[in-house]
């Protein structure tokens, strides 16, 4: 998917309406983490980055994205001018120092070379926080897709440009190969669905999350969020 034009046309709100909720989920997960510097990779229109900056209060915050249009919106919305907004390929970005925390919120599923992106994030930060959808759930893959009822993978590919559809085993293997140690992990249930078909299943299995968010995410789908320690960051080389 072309993230300069096609993605914006299909998602004209640039997900700004979801920024506060997504940021709150990540911040609740991070708890009392203290950092001096933050890099938000694929920051988009910057809504989540600004929420992170307001709550984590780093001395330096940077949002980076390859889309000029996204960065333009981020700069316009950043009325406090506390964040450095950069339009650049993450592989070409060369900061003067390593970051305490690098975040990638709902991004690796969009990137063909997800392993390469994770490794690059690990080079730039001591700690890396990733939030990613778990679309290879038992319900979606083993029931809905195999029975030919619908194809939620294709729908996420066409609407959002998702290339990868992960399950937990795949994600944990990916993090390990990328050179990370998982320090903390959590799970976020699916939000209310706009399509009635999916919303019915979400409501039916909602009580499962009362006992185990992990079980619900693996069975029905949801999000995995992890705090990773990098063994490949540039300060170690």
pLDDT tens-digit map of 12-54: 445 567 789 999 999 999 999 999 999 999 999 999 999 999 9
Bridge partner list, 62: 39, 84
At 221, give phi and psi (nearest 5°).
Answer: 110, 160
The domain locations on the chain are 6-135+161-191+223-231
**Cα–Cα distance measured from residue 52 to residue 78, given in angstroms and rounded to the nearest whole number:** 13
Fold of 6-135+161-191+223-231: Rossmann fold (3.40.50)
Collect all residues with Cβ–Cβ distance below 8 Å to 228 and sequence separation of at least 6: 122, 127, 128, 129, 130, 175, 180, 181, 182, 183
Determine the pLDDT at residue 16: 67
**Cα–Cα distance measured from residue 72 to residue 87, given in angstroms and rounded to the nearest whole number:** 9
Low-confidence residues in the chain, pLDDT < 70: 1-16, 138, 141-143, 153, 191-199, 201-202, 205, 208-209, 233-237
Determine the pLDDT at residue 13: 46
**Cα–Cα distance measured from residue 44 to residue 106, given in angstroms and rounded to the nearest whole number:** 11
Q: Which of 174, 185, 182, 163 is nearest to 230 (CA)?
A: 182
Strand 222-230 versus strand 99-105 pairing type:
unpaired
């Amino acid at each position: 998917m072309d993230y300069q034009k096609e993605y914006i046309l299909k998602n004209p709100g640039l997900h700004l309406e979801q920024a506060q909720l997504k940021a709150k989920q990540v911040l609740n997960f991070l708890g009392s983490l203290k950092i001096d510097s933050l890099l938000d990779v694929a920051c988009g229109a910057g809504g989540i980055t600004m929420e992170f900056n307001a709550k984590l209060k780093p001395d330096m915050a940077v949002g980076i994205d390859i889309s000029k249009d996204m960065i333009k919106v981020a700069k316009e919305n950043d009325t406090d001018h506390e964040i450095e907004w950069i339009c650049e390929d993450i592989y070409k970005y060369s900061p003067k120092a390593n970051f305490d925390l690098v975040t990638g919120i709902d991004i690796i599923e969009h990137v063909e070379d997800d392993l390469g992106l994770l490794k690059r994030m690990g080079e730039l930060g001591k700690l890396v926080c990733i939030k990613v959808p778990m679309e290879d759930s038992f319900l979606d893959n083993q029931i809905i897709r195999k029975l030919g009822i619908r194809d939620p993978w294709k729908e996420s590919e066409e609407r959002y440009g998702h290339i990868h559809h992960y399950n937990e085993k795949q994600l944990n293997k990916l993090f390990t190969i990328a050179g990370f140690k998982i320090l903390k992990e959590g799970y976020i249930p699916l939000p209310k669905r706009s399509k009635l078909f999916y919303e019915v299943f979400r409501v039916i299995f909602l009580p499962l999350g009362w006992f185990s968010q992990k079980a619900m995410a693996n069975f029905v789908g949801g999000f995995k969020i992890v705090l990773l320690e990098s063994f490949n960051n540039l300060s170690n080389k």
